[in-house]
């Protein structure tokens, strides 16, 4: 793999050299491709356009990120920002690359979670929009626009991950392919209600058992955290929400919240388009503040528990609290 990794480093150097003036744009792209964005941005946006699509987006986001975690535990992928130093191959010919604030992720690198979750989630959104446009216009060219956006998005997000030294090119490509397949397969049938609660518990338990089993046979799953701390340029760039267990808490919390939301209000609220737009605006503001809530990082168990609760709240706010509030006030106004 050394040859593959080395070529990836030189590609990252070339990309940084040629596009350094667009560094802020690359950072925006990588944040937009963050799996967290699927829960906090794509889910509410699609939900208030099409309830079924929104629910499918959240389901696909959670399962694809959980599978990405499992793959990373099994594949032990390196990340460019630490491999440059650990490989000792660049002592005399050091690549002219630099780290940024989003570089220092702590999980293993293969496959790319940003690419995998983005490919899965946006396939659901793009295919749903294609069906809508084609049913209204009967124009294949017009209906193909969402797929064109999908391809461009994957390319931009993938290149941004290479630019910031978070992933090698082959890790990005693997993430895109796996995510594309998951988007097609997982969106065909989405569980509902109590089954989602069982899925949440099942994913959490199975991940913990896998982690314990791998530890039992002598595999240290914290190896990537140690390397990230060792080679990150600034210690403050190491964030606890990039640790693999944070992803697990986000996925299981979101599925539990989705199941509870469907249990509290089966079928959701029936709202006109103006009310949906208001719900989207209020939900976006609410999720922005929920996401910005500071969580204590010590002890780590408390952080993970609160992180889990934070993402249990996300579907509740989008599907129950905000629509219920808007429905209540618009109904009273009509009376």
Residues carrying an active site annotation = 114, 167
Distance of CA 125 to the CA centre of its chain: 14
Q: How far apart are CA 183 and CA 168, in angstroms?
A: 23
Residue whose pair of structure tokens reads 């593959």 in the numeric block = 4
What single DSSP character describes residue 221?
T
Helix 223-231 × helix 80-87 angle, to 10°? 80
Q: What are the DSSP calls for 30-93, one per residue?
A: HHHTSHHHIIIIIHHHHHTT-HHHHHHHHHHHHHHHHHHHHHHHHH----HHHHHHHH---SSS
Extract the tokens encoding 312: 């249990």
Extract the tokens encoding 161: 């991950």
Picking from 255, 268, 253, the residue whose alpha carbon sits closest to that of residue 319 is: 268
Burial classification of residue 109, based on how many CB atoms lie within 10 Å of its CB (0-12 exposed, 13-18 middle, 19 or more buried): buried
E-strand ranges in the chain read none
Query: What angle (nearest 5°) sits at the alpha carbon of residue 309, between those of residues 307 and 310?
Result: 65
Q: How far apart are CA 144 and CA 163, in angstroms?
A: 29
First vs last C-alpha separation in the chain: 69
SS3 content of the chain, % helix, strand, coil (to 5): 75, 0, 25
Q: How far apart are CA 232 and CA 240, in angstroms?
A: 14
Q: How far apart are CA 35 and CA 23, in angstroms?
A: 20
């Amino acid at each position: 793999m050394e040859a593959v990794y080395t070529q990836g480093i030189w590609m990252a150097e070339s990309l940084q050299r040629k596009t350094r003036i667009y560094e802020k744009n690359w950072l925006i792209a990588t944040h937009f491709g963050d799996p967290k964005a699927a829960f906090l941005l794509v889910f509410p946006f699609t939900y208030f356009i099409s309830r079924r699509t929104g629910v499918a987006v959240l389901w696909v986001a959670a399962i694809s990120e959980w599978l990405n975690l499992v793959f990373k535990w099994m594949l032990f992928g390196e990340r460019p920002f630490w491999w440059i130093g650990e490989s000792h191959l660049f002592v005399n010919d050091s690549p002219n690359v630099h780290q940024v604030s989003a570089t220092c992720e702590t999980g293993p690198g293969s496959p790319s979670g940003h690419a995998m979750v983005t490919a899965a989630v946006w396939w659901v959104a793009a295919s749903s929009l294609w069906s809508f446009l084609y049913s209204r216009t009967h124009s294949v060219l017009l209906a193909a626009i969402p797929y064109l956006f999908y391809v461009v998005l994957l390319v931009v997000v993938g290149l941004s991950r290479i630019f910031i030294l978070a992933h090698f090119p082959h890790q990005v490509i693997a993430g895109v392919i796996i995510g594309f397949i998951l988007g097609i397969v997982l969106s065909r049938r989405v569980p509902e209600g109590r089954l989602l609660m069982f899925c949440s518990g099942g994913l959490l338990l199975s991940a913990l058992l896998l982690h314990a089993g791998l530890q039992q046979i002598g595999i240290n799953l914290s190896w990537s955290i140690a390397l990230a701390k060792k080679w990150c340029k600034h210690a403050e760039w190491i964030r606890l929400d990039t640790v693999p267990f944070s992803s697990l808490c986000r996925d299981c919390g979101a599925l539990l919240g989705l199941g509870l939301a469907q249990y509290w209000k089966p079928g959701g609220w029936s709202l006109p388009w103006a009310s949906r737009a208001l719900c989207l605006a209020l939900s976006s503001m609410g999720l922005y503040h929920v996401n910005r809530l500071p969580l204590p990082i010590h002890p780590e168990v408390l952080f993970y528990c609160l992180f889990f609760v934070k993402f249990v709240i996300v579907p509740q706010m989008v599907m129950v609290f905000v629509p219920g509030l808007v429905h209540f006030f618009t109904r009273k106004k009509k009376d």
